[in-house]
Amino acid sequence: MNLAKQICPTTTMGKIENGALIVDVRKREEVANVTFDVSNYINIPIDELEERFNELPKDKEIVMVCLSGERSLKTTYFLMNNGYENVFNMDGGIIKWASKNFPTKGNVESILNQSSCDCSSSNCC
């Protein structure tokens, strides 16, 4: 089995600018609190993905996202196992995205307090 392609928020931003679809697998109430402020965005909660993944195009790059990158990693593998080739997981999730001051809507402070990423380190993308 192939390993999922992990990308950072900076790479994700570049993919968005080139037309990639962002698929947020967080629950609706999480998305209502804080979300990505980007074009080509869809929310399909992880518990609905099995029934709804056919809504996702196979001819576009897809970046799976969640709060920290764990749930989206599982869904990246799910899509890979269902024939999707251009699918990526955004490592660090919206926590890392927001810590880079990338576009968000909502209560960003509520998630930044959960940050496990030390973005002053050289390991942060």
Marked catalytic residue, from 66, 117, 119, 125: 66
CA distance to 30, 57, 61, 71, per residue, from 35 (Å): 8, 22, 20, 16
Q: Is the dihedral of CA 64, 74, 76, 28 positive or negative?
A: negative
Q: Is 117 a catalytic residue?
A: no
Tokens of residue 70, six digits = 């764990």
Question: What are the residue numbers of the active site?
Answer: 66
